[in-house]
Structure 1
Amino acid sequence: MSSVRCIFFTRPPVKQIIPKDVIMSTIRSSFVFTLSFVLTLSLLTLPTPAADKPVKVYILSGQSNMVGIGQVTGGGSRWGSEFSNPILSVYSGKYDSNTDYDKIEPMNTVQLEVFGGNKPSPYPGGGTQIVRGFIQIKTTGVYEFRPGYGESTHNMMEVDGQEVYRREPGKDAVHKHIKLVEGKKVPFKITYFTDHANGLGWIARVDIPGTLETVVKQDGKFPYLVDKPGNWIARDDVWYKGVVTATANKSLSIGCGASNNNIGPELGFGHIVGDHHDEPVLILKASQGNRSLGWDYLPPDSERFEHEGYIYAGYKDSPARWEIGTKPEPINWYAGKQYDDCFTATHDVLNNFDKEFPHWKSRGYEIAGFVWWQGHKDGGEPYARRYEQNLVHFIKTLRKGFDTPNAPFVIATIGFDGWNMEGPHKKVAEAQLAVSGDRGKYPEFKGNVLSVETRDFWREPDVSPKNQGFHYNQNAETYMLVGEALGNGMIQLLKANR
């Protein structure tokens, strides 16, 4: 058989030419898709903007020093006995700033029998009224004068030849402080700009050692508390609300203590944590003076105990103690009532968050930490020796009650008498230090409980507004330093748990 050879011819591939504009369009589309994908992925992984994050809530509690007894100013008092020989002169016509009234004769001159106090002096009116006399201060210091009441505040006052006050109609008052020496008699003059005039007025010493006014505006400490003109700053990113006592409800500033003229540790603390967070901060303070942890703040599930022939109350028992073998006779208080009062009020605020804080409506909140400053009332036995175990139980119970099992918890020790502290109060301070997580005694508190030492912040009475040791002599610097220490301690815990 003959073989047949087959030859196959294949068509060479045709080279396809793609137009350049199609290629570029495809590249652009691919680039846009890739870029969009990358951007979308990036946005998904970016942190939530601070404006959308929950409000950071710090719950502060304790007794009177947490309430806040640090003085802002020395206050003011109605003047009266400091003045002598007040003579009123009435000049013709309305007040004229171009007239030198010291060089012209008055129409009428009256020796005032009453000047200052609570009763207005009977000024005759009928022209420009100017009162002259002398003032003699009992204590050397720097003073601010506030002459007049209501409409009579439109005047100018001079002391020892210096203008110390001026308020023209329609304008704000301008004060200039003046230093006066104890016992030295100097002249004063008050020129009234309107027909409204009387002898009422107030005087305030503004350099009282240890007031916030002196510490900040004269000693130059804590400069972040004032603006350039020297006005107290109110933070728009930190809100304060107090329950039970110290019930201010406003942007954090002075006046969040026991009165408008007091501060507690919330001021220094609030500035520290406010600077740390991008989110807004709520300082929620629940405090009451003259309260012990062993009786008033005794947390739920605390048990009775015996000591020297007495049974001491457990949670909800009344009275505080009774003899072994006898039946307790209840009083109108029970163990733990202050705990219940303070933290029920705290829960009420948080349960109505949108209503309480409409400026944060629908934003929500997150409990960021707890702060505790207390201990003076436990400075006796048997509460001093039980303070440590009570505090451990308090921390655990409070966290459980707010469903925050590991929330940062910062404690300030008591610091009465500084490093000279002794006796049961020293035992309380040592107990407060013992629970700190960095001491190692309570492993479950490591990294989430911190005690800060405050004995360095004690200031003696001679550099303080008052001689009142159990209130740290009302020294505002002490309260600020305690607040800052608590704030820095809180930040330390927050950073450790990132």
Structure 2
Amino acid sequence: MMLQRHLSRTRLLLGSLALLVFLTSHCNLLTNQACAQDTVQVYILAGQSNMEGKAKNSLFDHQASAPETKEFFAHLRDGEKWLEMDDVFINYLNRNGHLTLGYGSRDRTGIEYEFGYRMGKQHKDPVLLIKTCWGGHSLYKKFRSPSNPVPDSVLKQDLEQQVKNVQRNNEKKDRNDPAPTADEVRQQYGDSYRMMVDEVTNTLKELDTRFPELAGKKTNIAGFVWFQGWNDQYNGAETEYDHNLRMLVDDIRKEWKKPKLPVVIAVMGQNMSQEAKGAMKVIQDAQIGVAESDEYKDSVRAVRTAVLVDKAAEELYPNWRQNFEKWEKTGSDFAYHYMGSAIWMTRIGGHCADAMIELVGKD
């Protein structure tokens, strides 16, 4: 009897030791660090120049220390420096690393900083943002998705116009540039969509080398954020925006085999505090309408960006040239780039994250 008890205690002790060794080696309990998760939650941020990010880093720096705005940015600060996130990573074209300030256009930042901050807080898993955006690219043409081919009549008209443009330019500048072919014009439709898919594919394929800390981990494409619209205001493209956006949502879901992939749409908001009119209003209605339709209401959200406007920048913007010194401490770009407002970009990123969290839930 005593021997059986001794053997039972021995087995229990050995089992406990084995478990301790396993936990220590895999979760680094000796240094009281959390066990790293095995899956990387991937969010794709796509669109045109406003997704690139146009708020100057110098404006962020000023407003992070100015008495009237410093509290707004306090959660993104690590002492006197900008927070570099341990568990949130980003890939933007040829740049990659831990998320921090400056992953927008050159020396600028966009919505990704606040978005990534909040998603990092939401997930126990590490988070990876993949930005795929190019200025001036329309949904009608550049981002047109594969299941939405352009009609032959449109291609013919586009080809004729491009041929005329080349001929006119040759005559004007005494050049001899070749006119585009029908196939070359056809390839212009959807080339940004294809580049977006390639960016995502290549980033995930090279995950181990671009992000050594994520080596060996699984990846889960968890959500898609769309921030675009300006270049669809012309030549009647706005009338097709509703259809083209639905096709985009369907096609990215097919592409990544996620029938209910959460999608957040940052609605055009360059109208600021004014009512939107014309083509902008048509695109806004389409973006909101898609999100609220019966087909997508459970998996798509629209974030109205106009209501998040930076009122201080909006008030100063009409006369910014006459008040340039003050303007540099308030905004940093034109109205179509949300005035380059660090506050407005950060608000949009935060609200897009909140909408995404509503869709994806908690780990």
Is the pair's TM-score, using the shorter chain for normalization, greater than 0.5? yes
**1:428-482 deviations in Å (ceiling 9; x for gaps):** 111111111xx2x233x23321111111122312564346111111111111111
In the alignment, is the contact (CA less than 8 A) between 1:57 and 1:366 conserved in 2?
A: yes
CA–CA separation in structure 2 for the residues paired with 1:402 and 1:477: 33
* Cα drift, residue 391 of structure 1: 0.6
Q: Which residue number corresponds to residue 148 of structure 2?
A: 302
Q: Does the residue aligned with 2:222 lie in a helix, a strand or coil?
A: strand
Q: Which residue number corresponds to residue 50 of structure 2?
A: 65
Q: Does 1:338 align with 2:323?
A: no
Q: Does 1:312 align with 2:162?
A: no
Please, which moves more after superposition, 24-33 or 486-495? 24-33
Structure 1 unmatched runs, 5+: 1-21, 41-47, 74-210, 323-327
Q: Does 1:54 align with 2:39?
A: yes
RMSD of aligned C-alpha atoms?
3.0
Structure 1 residues 120-159: aligned runs within 5 Å = none
CA–CA separation in structure 2 for the residues paired with 1:321 and 1:253: 46
* Cα drift, residue 305 of structure 1: 4.9
Q: Which residue number corresponds to residue 104 of structure 2?
A: 257
Runs of 4+ in structure 1 over 3 Å off: 24-38, 303-306, 317-322, 328-333
CA–CA separation in structure 1 for the residues paired with 2:262 and 2:208: 25
In the alignment, is the contact (CA less than 8 A) between 1:368 and 1:408 conserved in 2?
A: yes
Q: Does 1:391 align with 2:237?
A: no
Q: Does the residue aligned with 1:492 lie in a helix, a strand or coil?
A: helix
In the alignment, is the contact (CA less than 8 A) between 2:272 and 2:307 conserved in 1?
A: yes
CA–CA separation in structure 1 for the residues paired with 2:11 and 2:86: 43
Q: Does 1:469 align with 2:343?
A: no
The TM-score normalised by the length of structure 1 is: 0.57
Instruction: Name the structure, 1 or 2, with higher relative contact order (CA <8 Å, separation 6+).
Output: 2
Q: Which residue number corresponds to residue 451 of structure 1?
A: 302
* Cα drift, residue 30 of structure 1: 6.9
Q: Does the residue aligned with 1:349 lie in a helix, a strand or coil?
A: helix
CA–CA separation in structure 1 for the residues paired with 2:159 and 2:214: 42
* Cα drift, residue 50 of structure 1: 5.2
Structure 1 residues 159-238: aligned runs within 5 Å = 211-218=59-66, 219-220=69-70, 221-228=72-79, 230-238=80-88
Q: Which residue number corresponds to residue 285 of structure 2?
A: 430
Q: Does the residue aligned with 1:51 lie in a helix, a strand or coil?
A: coil
Query: Hey, which of these two has a bigger chunk of strand by percent?
Result: 1
In the alignment, is the contact (CA less than 8 A) between 2:37 and 2:126 conserved in 1?
A: no
- Pick one of 214, 221, 240 that aligns with 2:90: 240
Structure 2 unmatched runs, 5+: 19-26, 28-33, 162-179, 321-326
Given residue 236 of structure 1, which amino acid in structure 2 is its aligned partner? D
- Pick one of 246, 249, 258 that aligns with 1:404: 258
* Cα drift, residue 67 of structure 1: 0.7
Task: Indicate the percent of aligned positions where both proteins have the same amino acid.
Answer: 27
Q: Number of paired residues?
A: 311
